[in-house]
């Protein structure tokens, strides 16, 4: 399908003026210069910027070949990772795969629930299984303990030798426990580049291998990211979608809108919002500053959060994430008795009704004092998933620099770990 991402800003009227945009643009231009020149804080982690170009055909083919092998020998592939090591793949696979089909890809190690992992082990017991364990540091507790439990099952199923072809590790090129374990056991490995942080790593083997295992065309994904990279590298706010989004967010934040709600009208986009929450939350929330990224799934949440958004504290703005094409998946049937009074909708597509719900919501929330923008993408495809990924990555880097923060570190994440390790007695035995 032709086209590209667009931003609809009509419901910013009265909240963001041309003058505001003019006033903020020097900050965004400076942010662009910091990124382009590699001179800003965290500039050791700018590898994501040229990943779409840097990825060679040989690397992509290597990932595809490994995915084919894993997929061919397995009923289920378990992807083990947390945060940036799982959310990108989860977002893209949920966005693009059909609902209610037996899942080829399942996730583990993204939390520490014993029940979840016990149920997963039960599910895996009588199936052919392969594993892709992903951890840049190679030391993160959640995926590490899940991997230990799943490897234990795999050894029982396949024996020490049999697991060699069934486990692929994605990690640092030389450091960390996962790297040592992979070398010791002779597992195939993929490298997370040094200059790409976890939450910016979906276009490395971190995201690409699980996405390819799910049967999604990763060449199209990378092509979409490449296209978006060209569109948002102008260095000017005008016509640069990522800079425009970053500018609007920063203006609204400075006017007291401290919370951004990413709202979709499509359950398949739920995990794109989750990926976005991590990307924006970890990149911007530091030094007692930063927009709080929240997410809603509509129309479901209009029946729970709708009241608050329409009528509660006015410190929010909203970003709708909307697919432009209206699918022809299902129409409302006609009914001779019309006892439910729905014949006025007979023959109308669900997607048509959903689109009206979106338009009504955007207008109602605006009238209730919630400025909002819509990010419109042509359709759910690997290409446009790639566009969305690069668009949001570039925007958050610009936005955080404009806010005066380092987008590429996450010092706050360590605090809970220190306390947890103390409670667990790590290093005492
Ligand atoms: O964005 C980040 O860097 C983090 O969310 C990490 O991805 C997450 O903590 C997982 O880290 P690792 O891949 O080292 O296990």
> How high is the pLDDT of residue 235?
61
* Beta pairing partners, 286: 289
Distance 135 CA to ligand 1 centre (A): 7
Q: Percentage of the chain with pLDDT > 90? A: 93
User: Residue 117, Cβ neighbours under 10 Å: how many?
Assistant: 17
**Gap from CA of 346 to ligand 1 centroid (Å):** 49
219 is catalytic: no
Question: Is 303 noted as a catalytic residue in this protein?
Answer: yes
Average pLDDT across the chain, whole number: 96
pLDDT digits (tens, 9 = 90+) for 35-85: 999 999 999 999 999 999 999 999 999 999 999 999 999 999 999 999 999
At 362-390, the pLDDT tens digits run 999 999 999 999 999 999 999 999 999 99
Q: What does the pLDDT read at residue 78?
A: 98
Q: Give yes or no: 136 in active site.
A: no
- Helix crossing, 141-162 with 114-125: angle to 10°? 20
Q: What angle, 0 to 180 degrees and rounded to 10, lies between the N-to-C axes of helices 382-403 and 241-254?
A: 40
pLDDT at 3: 87
Q: How far is CA 73 from the centre of its chain?
A: 28
* Per-residue model confidence as pLDDT tens digits over 256-282: 999 999 999 999 999 999 999 999 999
pTM of structure: 0.97
- Per cent of the chain over pLDDT 70 is 99
User: For the residues 6-17, what does the mean pLDDT come to?
Assistant: 98
414 pLDDT band, cuts 50/70/90, is: confident
Residues with CB under 6 A from ligand 1: 82-85, 135-137, 140, 143, 197-199, 282, 410
Per mean pLDDT, which range of 208-217, 238-247, 336-345, 392-401 is the poorest? Answer: 238-247
The first and second tokens of residue 145, run together, are 């303990």
Give the mutation target among 42, 81, 82 for probing the ligand 1 site: most ligand atoms within 8 A of CB.
Answer: 82
* Atom of ligand 1 at shortest range from CA of 84: 7
Distance 256 CA to ligand 1 centre (A): 30
pLDDT of residue 429: 66
- pLDDT in the model for residue 239: 79
pLDDT, tens digit, 9 for 90 and up, residues 217-257:
999 999 999 999 999 987 666 779 999 999 999 999 999 99
Instruction: Write down the pLDDT at residue 333.
Output: 98
């Amino acid at each position: 399908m032709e086209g590209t991402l667009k931003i609809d800003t009509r419901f910013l009227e009265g909240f963001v003026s041309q003058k505001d945009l003019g006033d903020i643009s020097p900050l965004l231009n400076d942010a662009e210069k910091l990124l382009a020149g590699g001179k800003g804080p965290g500039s050791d982690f700018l590898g994501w910027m040229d990943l779409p170009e840097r990825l060679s055909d040989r690397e992509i083919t290597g990932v595809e070949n490994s995915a084919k092998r894993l997929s061919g020998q397995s009923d289920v592939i378990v992807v083990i990772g947390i945060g940036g090591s799982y959310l990108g793949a989860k977002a893209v696979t949920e966005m693009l795969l059909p609902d209610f089909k037996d899942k080829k890809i399942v996730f583990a190690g993204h939390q520490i629930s014993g029940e979840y992992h016990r149920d997963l082990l039960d599910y895996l017991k009588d199936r052919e299984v392969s594993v892709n364990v992903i951890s840049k540091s190679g030391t993160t507790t959640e995926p590490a303990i899940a991997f230990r439990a799943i490897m234990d099952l795999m050894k029982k199923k396949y024996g020490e030798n049999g697991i060699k072809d069934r486990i692929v590790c994605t990690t640092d090129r030389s450091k960390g426990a996962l790297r040592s374990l992979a070398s010791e056991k002779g597992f195939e490995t993929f490298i997370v580049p040094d200059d790409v942080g976890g939450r910016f790593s979906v276009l490395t083997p971190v995201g690409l291998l699980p996405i390819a295992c799910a049967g999604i065309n990763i060449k199209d994904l990378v092509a979409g990211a490449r296209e978006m990279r060209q569109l948002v590298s102008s260095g000017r706010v005008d016509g640069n979608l990522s800079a425009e989004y970053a500018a609007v967010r920063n203006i609204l934040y400075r006017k007291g809108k401290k919370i951004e709600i990413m709202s979709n009208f499509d359950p398949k986009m739920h995990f794109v919002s989750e990926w976005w929450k991590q990307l924006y939350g970890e990149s911007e929330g530091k030094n007692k500053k930063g927009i709080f990224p929240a997410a809603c799934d509509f129309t479901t949440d209009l029946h729970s959060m709708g009241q608050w958004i329409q009528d509660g504290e006015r410190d929010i703005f909203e970003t709708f994430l909307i697919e432009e094409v209206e699918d022809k998946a299902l129409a409302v049937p006609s009914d001779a008795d019309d006892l439910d009074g729905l014949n006025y909708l007979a023959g109308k597509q669900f997607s048509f009704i959903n689109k009206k719900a979106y338009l009504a919501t955007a207008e109602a929330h605006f009238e209730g004092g919630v400025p909002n923008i819509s990010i419109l993408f042509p359709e759910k495809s690997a290409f446009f998933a790639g566009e969305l990924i690069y668009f949001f990555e570039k925007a958050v880097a610009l936005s955080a620099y404009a806010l005066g923060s380092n987008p590429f570190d996450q010092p706050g994440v360590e605090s809970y770990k220190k306390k947890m390790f103390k409670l667990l007695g790590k290093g005492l035995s």
